[in-house]
Structure formats: structure tokens, C-alpha cells
Chain A
């Protein structure tokens, strides 16, 4: 309740405010001005519900002319549907009057003279004059705010719908991507299996061809027919090239499938190199030699034989392949300080400087190798094997002088 004493206290405080020159009559005038010009509708109602006074804004808000509302029950400003209920609320308020906002949590509506309704917000208070209690209402037209709220709500709903829609789209896209990924994996697996199967299947007839060619070569050895010898040698070379290619595909596929595991075993590096030289010697062009030299008393290493063989084979094969007839290749091994070093040197075409940074990439081939058969997989496989063996590779190259150096631990620990 706004007590008279409290109001007077406020007025006194305002008058006593430093610099204030208000007189009591000024305050009364100010009060009248506030009442007349307030943006909210102000209405004073007797306890029985009759409108005793109101400001002009209330008229404007509800569409009444001056004086038309005075003496009318406050319910005239309410929609028909809530009038009877409001009467009960008002009587309850009269019994237990407190300062509060009206209809908390509820939508309140006002009814204009023309019957249209609009949303309002109402604050209630009560006061007493000469022992009689009155209720004062502060009515705010919240049409714009409600509209803004509705707009906001609508916008939020639209946003939520859009988010839901986008989420659904993303889920669908994710599902599609997953499906595509699964399909890709499946295709990749299928491709891998096909490559493995095809490589295996191709190797079998190639092996038979090679055996037959060997036999033909042996049968005609005594006859020494130059043309037969030449063609037998050519068939051998091409079969070896095809077998080498298939082996590279198979090796890569196995590495990619994680099927290759390190199995360290004691290896005499010298005998291993002799074996490999014996195998690779037929790949040499006329006049090409493979010189092998081992440095150091120590000859035993503990490494994976197959991987080590593949590394050396790849490097020596390249040295022969990219060198011309009569150009020697060199293979050097050395063991010192627990490290095996393998060096392969050739006097071939070299690796163009602009290609050197890509040399170990899969399927990469140097710009000067167009006319030389190859898959571009060999050095990539070498690097992958060296990763498994804990080794490194480096090279220097210029036309006529290319040297690859591989460094490996002499003893591969099981953890590696």
C-alpha cells in the first residue's frame, strides 16, 4: 500500500534535495502533469470496482472519450469472458491487498470500446484516503512488445525448425558419407583383394613360362643358336620385369593391409648379398657389372631377412635399370658401432633436382624415366620397409652419379 505518510516523506525528500526549489504546490502540479502525460494508463478504482479517476492515456488506450469511463465498473475494460472471474479476483484482492503485478504468468487482455481486445500488463497497488481504501492500476499496452515477442518466438521456432532441418540434413549427409566410406573401404578391400589375387594368379603362369624358357635355354645351350638365345633372353627379361611389378603390387598391398610383421633373424649380410647378386645378375644389361664389397669383420645382423632383401633388391634393381649398358653398379655394406650401412651407387641417368623431393612418393616417377619401365612403387616400398626396420635412407644424385645410403640398426629389437 502507498501510505500518505510515505508519499509525503518522498515529497519532503524531493523538496529537501540539494538545489531543489520546489514548493508543495509545485509538487502537486508535477503530480498532475505526470498523471496527465504518463505513457501508461493510470486508473483509480474504488474497492467496489467503480472507476474513480484515470488519466488521458487510459482513454486513448481503450478508445473512450473524456469522462466516459468514470463511474463505470473496471470490468468494462476487460473482455467479456473474464469479467465474472475478475470480479472474484478483485474481491479476493480487497481482502488481502498487496502491491503486485497482475496476472503473473497469465496473458492479460484489455477490451476497447469498439470490442477489440489487446494485450496489457497491469500493476496493482492500493492506498487509503481518509480511511477509505482505493486500488490504483497501472495499465501498459504491450501490443508491440507481444508482437515483438511473438515475432521472436516465431523466429526462434523458424530457427529451431531450420536447425532441426539442417541437423537432419547433416545427419543424412553424415549417413551418406559413412555409407560412402564403408563403400569405399569395401571397394578398397575389393581392389586390394583383386590386386593380390590377380598378382598371385599372374605369377603362377609367369613362373611356368620362366621354367619353360629356362628349359628351352638349356636345351639349346649346346646348339648356341644366336637368335634363339637372344629371344630366350628377351622373354626372360620381360617375365622378370612383370614378376617384379607384380611383386611390388603385392608388397604394397601387404604393407597397407598391415600384413607384414618384422621377424628378426640372424643373417650373414655377405651371403645374403651374394644371394641377391646371383638373383639380380640376370637383370644386368650387356656389360653391366654389380660390384659388391663388405667392410668390417662383423658380418652378422639381426634383421628381417625378407624386408632387408627387398630393400637391397629394389635399390640394386634401380641402379641397373637406370644405368646404360656397360655402366657398373656398386653395392657396399659395412657394419660398425652397431649399425649396418648399405650403399648402392650407379653411374646412370641421375634423378632430376626438381624430382628429388618426390622420389619416395607412391607411384612417382622421375621426369627422365618415361621410356624406362617401372611402377613408381619401389622406393616407396623401400621407405615403408625401412620404417618397419627402424632404418633411414638418403641419397645424392647428379647425372652419372647417384648414391643411396641406407642406415639400419645391426640388431633389430623385438619392440621395433
Chain B
């Protein structure tokens, strides 16, 4: 069974819907979560994607507790899985200064991006059928914010624009099984690519 596929051009997309910083359930337990173990316990206890955003907003894990999962590579950003089960997948993404993701989307129903260190810019793109990809917006993400992405197609790119390293904690529910990468150059602007996609 194929559970993860890279494709550069998604033929299945039909637009995207995204919700950012959707108000979370404030009635939920509001005690800060101060360790990764506690975070996992909470996620495993609730087993409800609707609660995940609120749980992440209680995130107050000191950096030293997360450092176990930090990996740095001068050639590319890194993705380290903290936990994965049938319900969700929790990742730590580490960026050296200037490192960025590709233009991508994935098929998980919901995802939460939680910057915990540094300054990350999220660029959003729209797929224009038959005419490539167009950048639609750019948002600076800072530690403490939780970016919630609802199911649907959401083409994005994250870049560490700060002078130092950046880290985000990403939560996917359910775990992604498809990851699509897009070529920003072979979109609406031009048919012939001026060079490798970046």
C-alpha cells in the first residue's frame, strides 16, 4: 500500500481552505504543558483532532526538553518525528538561517504549525488551473502562535528569515500520506522553467 507519494504537480487539487489561528476551546484545561512527555500524554488522552489546537496553545515546553529532537543540517532543514500513531504525527522541524521548505501541500485532514524558536515566514500560494502557481500572501510566524490548517489543499512554503536558527513543532492529524511539491517557476508566469525549482 502506498502511503506517501511525492508528486510535483497535483492533479487532484480543487482549491484550498485554510484556517489560521482559529479560536480554540478556552474551556479546555488551561494549565501550561511544560514537557514533551506531558504534551504527548495530552494528545493521546484526548484523541480528538478538535482538541489538538487548544492543547498546542498550552505549549510551554522549555527548549531544553525539546532539544533531544533537534537536528541541524547545513544542506537542508530537518524533520524529526517525536511520535506517530494512526491518529496523529508530531514532528520537530529545524531550520538553519535561510533554509526553507519547498512549495508543498499534503493530504492530512488538519495540521498545526507551532513556531517555538526563531522567526519563520509562511508564504501561501494558489494553484491557477492551467496557469501555474501564484503567491497570494506572506505571514511572519513567531513563537507562541499556532497556525491551524484545515483539510484541503494549502500550498505553502516556510522559510527561516531570522538571523538564527528556527524550530517549529508540527502536528498532523491524521498523519500525512501524500506530500506534493510544486515548481513555482513552471506555473502561471512562464511555461519554460528558467532553472531548477527552488
Seen from chain A, the residues whose Cβ lies within 8 Å of a Cβ on chain B are: 207, 211, 214-215, 217, 224, 226, 229-230, 233-234, 236-237, 268, 270-271, 274-279, 281-287, 289-297, 299, 331
Contacts and interface: CB of A to CB of B under 8 A. Distances in A.
Interface stretch (B16-24, B50-58, B189-197): B189-197
Contacts of B49: none
Contacts of A292: 4-6, 179
A331 B4 CA distance: 11
Contact of A275 (B3, B76, B84, B192): B76
B193 A287 contact: yes
A279 B100 CA distance: 10
Interface in B40-56: none
B186 A287 contact: yes
Contacts of A214: 98
Contacts of A274: 6, 79, 179
Interface in B66-102: 73-81, 84, 91, 98, 101-102
Contacts of A207: 74
B84 A289 contact: no
Contacts of A295: 1-3
Find the residue from A214, A275, A285, A290 having the highest chain B CB count within 10 A.
A275
6 contacts: A233-B196, A270-B4, A271-B81, A278-B102, A283-B196, A286-B192
Interface residues of B, number: 33
Q: Is the interface of A mostly helix, strand, loop or mixed?
A: helix
A291 B7 contact: yes
B84 A268 contact: yes
Question: Which 7 interchain pairs have the tightest Cβ spacing?
Answer: A233-B195, A279-B76, A286-B193, A292-B6, A271-B79, A289-B8, A268-B81
B149 to A, nearest CB: 17
B155 interface: no
Contacts of A278: 76-77, 101-102
Contacts of A290: 6
A293 B4 contact: yes
A283 B75 CA distance: 12
Contacts of B179: 274, 292
B198 interface: yes
B181 interface: yes
A12 B193 CA distance: 128
